[in-house]
Amino acid sequence: MIEKGFAAIVLAGCLVMLLRMLLGEQRRRRFDATAIRIWLRLRMAALALWRWPRSRRQARQLADDAIRRASQGQWDGNVYTPDQFKKPPRDKMH
């Protein structure tokens, strides 16, 4: 079954190349430009599918980090001051 699928793909590729050879130069350029555009779109879609789980995981991790940082500060009325903004004690040695 797989062999027939590969054979069909190769046959379709050969027919496309034969069709390309039969075209005139102007139409061949247009055909090539369209083929390149289709190839680039397919490639970008495949890369997006490949990177999708990683990007979701990264977004979840960034959200968790933001929530963790927001819970480590103090509220003074409606003003939030993170602990990171507190200045360290001055060095009394000098």
Per residue of the chain (94 residues), give pLDDT as tens: 899 999 999 999 999 999 999 999 999 999 999 999 999 999 999 998 888 878 788 888 888 988 887 777 777 788 777 776 666 677 776 6
> Is there a domain that residue 29 lies in?
yes
Q: Is residue 39 assigned to a domain? A: yes
pTM: 0.50
Residue 64 lies in a domain: yes
Is 38 domain-assigned? yes
Contacts of 81 (CB under 8 A, 6+ apart): 73, 74, 75
- The two tokens of residue 38 are 């289709």
> For the chain, what is the domain count?
1
Does any domain span residue 67? yes
Secondary structure of the chain: what % helix, strand, coil (to 5)?
75, 10, 15
Q: Which domain holds residue 33?
A: 24-71
